[in-house]
Amino acid sequence: MFSEYLFRKVDNSPLVIFRVIFGLLIVAECWGAIYTGWVQSNFVDPKISFSFIGFEWSNVFLGAKMIYFYIAMGILGWFIAFGFAYRFSTIVFALLWSLTYFMQKTSYNNHYYLFMLVSWMMTVIPAHQFFSVDSLMFPKIKRLTCRNWVPTLFIIQLLIVYTFAAFHKIYPDWFNGVFLQMKFHEYGELLTFKYNLAGLGKVVSSLEFAQVFAWTGFFFDLLIIPAMMFKKTRSLAIKCAIFFHIFNSAVFGIGIFPFFALAMMIFFYDPVKIQEMVFPKKSFMMDRSDEDNLLTTRRVMFSYLLCFYVLWQVYLPVRHLFIPGNVFWTEEGHRLSWRMMLRNKAGEIEVFVAKPDPKNKGKFLKREKIKLDDYLTYKQISKLAISPDMMWQFARFVKHDYAEKGIKDVKVFVDAKVSVNGSEYYQFTNPNYNLGVTTWSYFGHQKWIENQPKELHLSYFE
């Protein structure tokens, strides 16, 4: 029975090792974000933050206090690594990380999303029962094993991430190398002009080079988890994973994710062998108690809860299929779906306001152009130009700002044009649609987004 499989006992050595690495990665991510200026540019400098819709209230935390948030999360990372006040540390970290994640979309990253999911997993996973300060202080909690649902959950989560990362790559500009060539072109120029390696620079900038990496990336994402599941292919798979992730880290600068993904691979290995290599003095002794082999109602309910979580994780990456339009064009269903490094999008945007005519009731004065840099940073403007949810939020912000100045019921219009993977710029929004009064459809299509132009081919099914 599935529930019996989930609650089978296994050695907890891989879990303990992952806890230590996870805590250290928290420290590197949070304190690194302060050191590199990421916190400054995303939470301190902006006057407003484009939060996830429904989290606009989180703007109250903007400012220098966010640096202390990240300092605190780094300290919690140390606590988690050492297994000190583990439950408290994981819960508080998960809350703080979730808050900072939902506070801004300007630097949205699927890797931050995965970090949040795993953070909440760790709040219910008993990763502190061995090789921890807690187990030294409270010997009664010490355990040599954990339940099989723990490694199973990590493996399923990785399977979802990589599988959908592969499926989302099935579109023309990925396989023909157009998108990746744009990425590699700058490295080709760097090799040519900075290091005087014109021959190598020409190769790196070529379409053929991009196509090789496009197909390699697709097959890696599609096959890496199945290959890790089988003993015969696991050795080759982990070597490929190390090369792939280190290469991505060096070329694309994607922070801790490569090391985070590699750390999660530990759950594919035999836990007893991990124990023998890392904790040779630890005797593998199955914990025994009266309820060990009992399939209780609580465990069955927990099994259903895990199934619901997995189904939800499968739904989110495919929800765009139930929304009219192509997600590459509309961006609807893009986030929380493992659509990683798939397209290069640029935009041009103008925002206009029409004030009510004080002399003619029901009439409006000529539209005035908003100066965007009075409100937003350069990075925010760049993201605003291609993100419909941010356009909608900014329209509401502008309307509220004018209302506070005593000018109520203004109309807000957004005129945006978008280029995908180096294409021409096409009209993206209806410039005559008043976004100040429209509502946001969370799981539907926004009527003010223009249809994808026929000249732009973003699917094999067009």
pLDDT tens-digit readout, 243-263: 999 988 887 777 888 999 999
How confident is the model over 320-343, as a mean pLDDT?
Answer: 94
pLDDT digits (tens, 9 = 90+) for 4-39: 889 999 999 999 999 999 999 999 999 999 999 999
Q: Tell whether 299 and 349 lie within a shared domain.
A: no
pLDDT digits (tens, 9 = 90+) for 168-222: 999 999 999 999 999 888 888 888 888 888 888 899 899 999 999 999 999 999 9
Flag whether pLDDT at 85 surpasses 90. Answer: yes
Q: Tell whether 412 and 297 lie within a shared domain.
A: no
Number of domain units in the chain: 2
**What is the structure's pLDDT at 187?**
84
Distance CA 148, CA 8 (A): 5
> Taking the CA of residue 432 as centre, how many other CA atoms within 13 Å lie in the half-sphere pointing to its CB?
0
Q: Tell whether 230 and 376 lie within a shared domain.
A: no
Flag whether pLDDT at 1 surpasses 80. Answer: no
462-to-20, 112, 211, 455 alpha-carbon distances in Å: 48, 33, 22, 11
Q: Which tokens sit at 112?
A: 């931050």
Q: Tell whether 77 and 34 lie within a shared domain.
A: yes
pLDDT digits (tens, 9 = 90+) for 353-390: 999 988 888 899 999 999 999 999 999 999 999 999 99
Flag whether pLDDT at 83 surpasses 70. Answer: yes
In a domain, 331, yes or no: no
In a domain, 285, yes or no: yes
Report the amino acid identity of residue 113: Y
How confident is the model over 82-98, as a mean pLDDT?
Answer: 98
Distance CA 56, CA 77 (A): 27
Distance CA 37, CA 419 (A): 29
**Which is nearest to 269 in space by CA: 223, 238, 243, 246?**
238
Contact between 116 and 94 (Cβ < 8 Å): yes
Q: Tell whether 378 and 234 lie within a shared domain.
A: no
**Which is nearest to 443 in space by CA: 287, 295, 309, 335?**
335
Contact between 161 and 257 (Cβ < 8 Å): no
Distance CA 427, CA 383 (A): 16
**What is the structure's pLDDT at 289?**
47
Widest CA span of the chain, in angstroms? 87
Q: Which tokens sit at 284?
A: 């593998």
Q: Tell whether 202 and 132 lie within a shared domain.
A: yes
How confident is the model over 321-334, as a mean pLDDT?
Answer: 95
Q: Tell whether 354 and 298 lie within a shared domain.
A: no
Q: Tell whether 57 and 205 lie within a shared domain.
A: yes
Contact between 211 and 176 (Cβ < 8 Å): yes
**What is the structure's pLDDT at 247?**
85
Contacts of 27 (CB under 8 A, 6+ apart): 74, 77, 78, 81
In a domain, 87, yes or no: yes
In a domain, 212, yes or no: yes
Among the ranges given (284-293, 403-412, 447-456), the one the predictor scored with the smallest mean pLDDT: 284-293
Flag whether pLDDT at 347 surpasses 50. Answer: yes
pTM recorded for the entire structure: 0.94
The length of the chain is 462
Distance CA 100, CA 233 (A): 39
The 3-class secondary structure across the chain, one letter per residue, is CHHHHHCCEEECHHHHHHHHHHHHHHHHHHHHHHHCCHHHHHHHCCCCCCCCCCCHHHHHHCCCHHHHHHHHHHHHHHHHHHCCCHHHHHHHHHHHHHHHHHHCCCCCCHHHHHHHHHHHHHHHCCCCCCCCHHHHHCHHHCCCEEECHHHHHHHHHHHHHHHHHHHCCCCHHHHCCHHHHHHHHHHHHHHHHCCCCHHHHHHHHCHHHHHHHHHHHHHHHHHHHHHHHCHHHHHHHHHHHHHHHHHHHHHHCCCCHHHHHHHHHHHHCCHHHHHHHHCCCCCCCCCCCCCCCCCCHHHHHHHHHHHHHHHHHHHHHHHHHHCCCCHHHHCCCCCCCCCCCCCCEEEEEEEEEECECCCCCCCECCCEECCHHHCCCHHHHHHHCCCHHHHHHHHHHHHHHHHHCCCCCCEEEEEEEEEECCCCCEECECCCCECCCCCCCCCCCCCCECCCCCCCCCCCCC
In a domain, 145, yes or no: yes
Strands 145-147 and 345-354: unpaired
Rounded to 5 degrees, φ, ψ at 393 are -65, -40
Q: Tell whether 268 and 354 lie within a shared domain.
A: no
User: Can you give the residue range of the structural domain that contains 155?
Assistant: 2-321
**What is the structure's pLDDT at 290?**
42
Contacts of 357 (CB under 8 A, 6+ apart): 363, 364, 365
Mean pLDDT (the chain) is 93
Strands 411-420 and 9-11: unpaired
Token pair 């999008």: residue: 345
Q: Tell whether 166 and 279 lie within a shared domain.
A: yes
In a domain, 333, yes or no: no
Q: Tell whether 43 and 75 lie within a shared domain.
A: yes
In a domain, 334, yes or no: no
Q: Tell whether 176 and 34 lie within a shared domain.
A: yes
> Taking the CA of residue 412 as centre, how many other CA atoms within 13 Å lie in the half-sphere pointing to its CB?
22
Contact between 94 and 119 (Cβ < 8 Å): yes
Flag whether pLDDT at 288 surpasses 70. Answer: no
